[in-house]
Structure 1
Amino acid sequence: MAPSTRVPLSVLDLVPRSQGMTPAQAIEESVALAREVDGLGYHRFWMAEHHGSETFMSSATSLLLGHVAHHTSRIRLGSGGVMLPNHSPLMVAEYYGTLATIHGDRFDLGLGRAPGTDPMTAAALSRSSGHLPDFAAEVAQLQKYLGDPPTLTGGRGQVRALPGEGTHVPLWMLGSSTGGAQVAAALGLPFSFASHFAPDQLREALMVYRDRFRADAATAQVERPTTMAGVNVLVAPSQEEADHLFTTAQLMAIRIRSGQPAPLDPPVESLAAVVPAELLPMAQAHQAVRAVGTPEVVVERLEEFVAEHELDELIVTTYTFDPELRRRSYRLLAEAWGLG
């Protein structure tokens, strides 16, 4: 019997800000979205770390997740992800251990190697190189901090995450290339691939992860390769409206790829009328993994994607200029997917 393609659906949110919107309003809209998808039956609500961006207000991810936790009750919350080269493992363990201490077992800790920003801001943030061996060692150290309390000799000689130790916050490895796949496999961790913005190495990364997965690693958290992948989604009552609304996401991608980030633009009738021809391919390359259209069209595309890559879960992200239409998209998808 073929495995089900109706896998759990999760939501990735970067606290996008539309033109004319203040940072505080963008955060309020993301909290409203979290409340919405909590009630709709989505599995996780993840927020991703970005810095120095006019587009995304998600730099202080752990603070945002704590705020969202106060406004939701069921959905799992997490980082998608924390860019570990920007932080010490001890501080990350303290932040997420504190969240778990306050709110219980509702948090996931997704970890990535990218800086999540431009080179100048990355230099101001950077604490470590992000090279694979260093990164893997820091992930293992972070897991140790969140694990069982150490055996102390006279109460001295140990570095401890307090609060944090004993919370066992689940770790996920994130990746947009085969590097993250190698670390996830070697450490026996679940793996989430960023195919919503970096689709080119999806197939290769999943193959590397599955072929090299070590369930016997001391750090292993899952017994078998466990995969999730990102998809750009926009659902509307008609294909025409969905395509029109999706131009906001396409303009966002073009701005980011061309080094001109800005708050989200309103949708346009024709991308070709407002974007130079040489920049148009950027949106297609950046957002090749997408499902845009009516609920039936989007569900069919998502099921095909799950079956093609044998995924255990999908994480979807939606950008609209009007936040209410973003919430509507998630409502339509939840109903069509059978969540609840």
Structure 2
Amino acid sequence: MSSAPPGLSVLDLVPVSSGSGPAAAIRAACAAAQTAERHGYDRYWLAEHHNSPALACSATTVLMGAVAAATETIRVGSGGIMLPNHAPLRVAEDLGTLAVMYPGRIDCGLGRAPGTDPGTAARLRRGSADLVDFTRDLTELHDYLGPATGAPGETEVIGRGADVRLFVLGSSTGGARAAAELGLPFSFASHFAPDQLHEALAVYRGNFNPDAPTAQVSAPWVSAAVNVMAADTVAEAQRQLLTLRHSFAGVLTGRRGPLVAPGDTVEPHPILEARVHHSLRVTACGTAAGVVDQLLDWAVPLGLDEIVTVTYAHDPGVRRRSLALVGDEWARRRNCCM
């Protein structure tokens, strides 16, 4: 458990807003990353989802390259690449190439979920997501990115030995066990699946193996995700949060669609509203000071090393404003504590 203030980062699913399209969503992601960099965030992660009209993040490493090119210092990564969808060598080649192009800035978060529906997963030629297979593939990826050994028949991979940081992502104890066994940092998806957060952190910390050949940290390192919306007033932040709540109701009912403006949202049925509230209960909303208070009240007892913020807004300017407000207030608090 770290005694220093937690780090602060961003996860972007590259949401498409109604009346717009994927190209605009990608431009908005690059602009948001520039805002995050200017306002002191540690890293900017892009997710992997397929066959969704609401998200433009199917080609994760391509997006990582675009964001890295649009920024200068912030670390850029995947949050995450769904490893069973890909051959480990293919992922290593993409990451190694990015690491050569943007030295010291590339992260790779890796998960087991399909990031899509079963039919699309089959068309991706998705492999096994069994924990044993996932751990084996992650070890293989780690070895491709590690220093060359000179062994006969060793695969040549661009970027071998580069500073690519690997993280295991999860929303259950399965990912926590894999991260602990491999001695890798662990990031929990509490922004939409908070139920097993405490249990997963206990499993990870209780089983962490710093002596694993794949270990990249000497002690447990944990981040977790939280939905964030900050605005100049509490009322405006709560109004903007309606976009996220409407979007997640669509996820639960299988009616995914582009983000809608707050004024175009529809109140869900009370039963559905209760499910939305349960899934999105790890949310910080309000003014910058209020949001940072909420983040600290949540993260410090958990002993988090980093908080991963997730912000949905129909208007990209609203998202950038939220990022700037929280980043500036976070930096002010962090400086006061040092």
- Bin the TM-score by the shorter chain: over 0.9
Match of 2:154 among 155, 158, 183: 158
1:45 aligned to 2:44?
yes
**Structure-2 change in CA distance of 1:122 and 1:226 (3 Å):** same
CA contact (8 A) 1:115 1:126 kept: no
How far the C-alpha of 1:269 sits from its partner, in A, is 8.3
Mapped contact 1:62–1:96 kept (Cα < 8 A): yes
Cα distance per residue 1:16-67 (max 9 Å; x no partner): 1110111111111111111111111100000001101111100001011111
Report the TM-score when normalising by structure 2: 0.95
Partners of 1:283 and 1:35 in 2: how far apart? 31
Aligned to 2:233: 238
The equivalent of 2:14 in structure 1 is 15
Matched AA of 2:234 = Q
Confirm whether residue 28 of structure 1 aligns to residue 27 of structure 2: yes
1:257 aligns with 2:217: no
Q: Which amino acid aligns with 2:27?
A: E
Following superposition of structure 1 onto structure 2, how do residues 1-340 of structure 1 map, counting pairs within 5 Å? 3-4=3-4, 6-153=5-152, 157-161=153-157, 163-268=158-263, 271-272=266-267, 275-338=268-331
Distance in structure 1 (CA, Å) of the matches to 2:231 and 2:29? 19
What is the DSSP-based 3-state SS (H/G/I as helix, E as strand, rest coil) of the residue aligned with 1:268? helix
Q: 2 CA distance for matches of 1:62 and 1:251? A: 29
Post-superposition CA distance 1:149-176 (Å, at most 9, x none) = 13144xxx23332x13222411000000
Matched-pair contact (CA < 8 Å) for 2:243–2:265: no
CA distance in 2 between counterparts of 1:19 and 1:241 reads: 20
Q: Could you list the per-position Cα deviations for residues 78-135 of structure 1 after superposition, in whole angstroms to 9, with x for gaps in the alignment?
A: 0000000000000000000000011111001110000101111111113311100010
* Maintained 8 Å contact 2:103/2:163: no
Report how far residue 270 of structure 1 moved. Answer: 7.5
- Render the CA deviation track for 1:189-231: whole Å, top value 9, x for unaligned: 0000000111000000000000000011111110000000000
2: distance between equivalents of 1:102 and 1:129?
31
CA offsets 1:262-288 (integer angstroms, 9 cap, x no match)? 00011138853xx22332123212211
| Residues 1:62 and 1:269: Cα distance change in structure 2 (over 3 Å) | closer
- CA distance in 2 between partners of 1:58 and 1:100 (Å): 20
Aligned length: 332
* Cα shift at 1:69: 1.2
**Cα RMSD between the aligned structures?**
1.5
In 1, the alpha carbon distance for the partners of 2:245 and 2:56 equals 19
Mapped to 2, the partners of 1:298 and 1:121 lie a distance apart of 37
Tell me the secondary structure at the aligned position of residue 211 of structure 2.
coil
Shift of 1:3: 3.0
2: CA distance between counterparts of 1:93 and 1:226?
A: 23
**Where does structure 1 lack aligned partners over 5 or more consecutive residues?**
none
Report SS of the residue matched to 1:143.
helix
Distance 2:264 2:53 in 1: 24
Within 1, Cα distance between the matches of 2:51 and 2:82?
A: 14
Query: SS at 2:263's partner residue?
Result: coil
Are the equivalent residues in 2 in contact too, given 1:244–1:269 (CA < 8 A)? Answer: no
Could you tell me the percent identity over the aligned residues? Answer: 47
1:338 partner SS: helix
Contact 2:246–2:265 (CA under 8 A) maintained in structure 1: no
